[in-house]
Structure 1
Amino acid sequence: MTRGSESTTAEEHGAAEPLTVVAAAIVQEGRLLVVSKQAAPDVFYLPGGKPEAGEAPLEALRRELDEELGVEPLEPRLLARIESVAALEGVPMRLTLFEARIARTPAPAAELARLRWISGDVSDVRLAPAVTDHVLPLLRRAGSMEP
């Protein structure tokens, strides 16, 4: 870049392109399914991940739940689009959140370390900011989880 130019890129300003992800809010008997990844086993997230090139959000959700948990989302419906910060990467994140049911018992696979069902008043587990700041309040307001 030449000295008199006023044109700069996002990288030069330190701005990061938002991370695009999809996730599922799976609630059974008032408890939400959360997972931890091997890269950060002490932080729990919603199951899901990054869409591949050209993949629609719902397609990505189906693929991710199959790869990570060996389950298929039943009757998925768009719940919200959330702007937050990705806990592991520390960058802005655009989350497309679906609410879904599952018919089988999930089992962690791929990059997942473990899974857990949490209640709305969870205090003994570290949750990703998007879960605590956006997802849990949304599910409480919808009546899916107890306060």
Structure 2
Amino acid sequence: MDDQRMAPQTDQTPRKHEELVVAAVAVLREGRLLVVSKKAAPDFFYLPGGKPEPGENAREAMTREVREELGVRPLDVAPLTEVHATAALEGVPMRMTVFTATLDGEPAPAAEIAALHWTDGTEAPPFTLAPAVRDHVLPLLAGRTL
């Protein structure tokens, strides 16, 4: 009998070999990308967005999450890319659908968001970008403005 203990799984926690599905938005302003940190990991910065709820497509999930987390609505939404990487905190395979958009106002942290930051990707620790953002999204956006 295997005596190893596994952490309890919740509806929001992917199983060991399940893929984490996420929808996110890349918002650029003056050559800088909007990133957010969560209260659960305040030193780690990600793109705004989150997991789709049952019945939601990626765009609907991203729109809902941005409204909940930042109090603004994405405008001029367009598909950017789909990133396949390991989720930074969960350590499981992740598929992140990324859109570009502008915002209908000034974003402010809400819900589980601890902070927001506009980055060009060169900040030093303790500011840490999630690898999916650093290695996949920022290179795609290099030299681009919205």
* Counterpart-to-counterpart distance in 2, 1:87 and 1:27: 22
The count of residues paired between Structure 1 and Structure 2 equals 130
- Which residue in the other structure is 1:71 paired with? 72
Q: Is the 8 A contact 2:121 2:134 kept in 1?
A: no
Q: CA RMSD for the aligned pairs?
A: 1.4
Q: Which has the larger radius of gyration?
A: 1
Unmatched tracts of structure 1, length 5 or more:
1-13
Which SS does the other structure have where 2:110 is aligned? coil
User: What letter is aligned with 1:144?
Assistant: R
- Which residue in the other structure is 1:53 paired with? 54
* Counterpart-to-counterpart distance in 2, 1:99 and 1:16: 29
- Which residue in the other structure is 2:8 paired with? none
Query: What TM-score does the superposition give when structure 1 sets the normalisation length?
Result: 0.84
Which SS does the other structure have where 1:53 is aligned? coil
* Counterpart-to-counterpart distance in 2, 1:119 and 1:103: 22
- Which residue in the other structure is 1:105 paired with? 106
Compute the displacement of 1:16 (Å).
1.1
2:134 aligned residue (132, 135, 139):
132
Q: Is the 8 A contact 2:28 2:102 kept in 1?
A: yes
* Counterpart-to-counterpart distance in 2, 1:50 and 1:131: 16
Compute the displacement of 1:57 (Å).
0.7
Query: What TM-score does the superposition give when structure 2 sets the normalisation length?
Result: 0.85
Which SS does the other structure have where 1:58 is aligned? helix
Compute the displacement of 1:120 (Å).
3.9
**How is 1:1-147 mapped onto 2 (pairs within 5 angstroms)?**
16-124=17-125, 125-140=127-142, 143-144=143-144
* Counterpart-to-counterpart distance in 1, 2:56 and 2:30: 32
Which SS does the other structure have where 1:65 is aligned? helix
Q: What percent identity do the matched residue pairs reach?
A: 58
- Please identify runs of 4+ aligned residues in structure 1 that moved more than 6 A: none
Compute the displacement of 1:119 (Å).
1.5
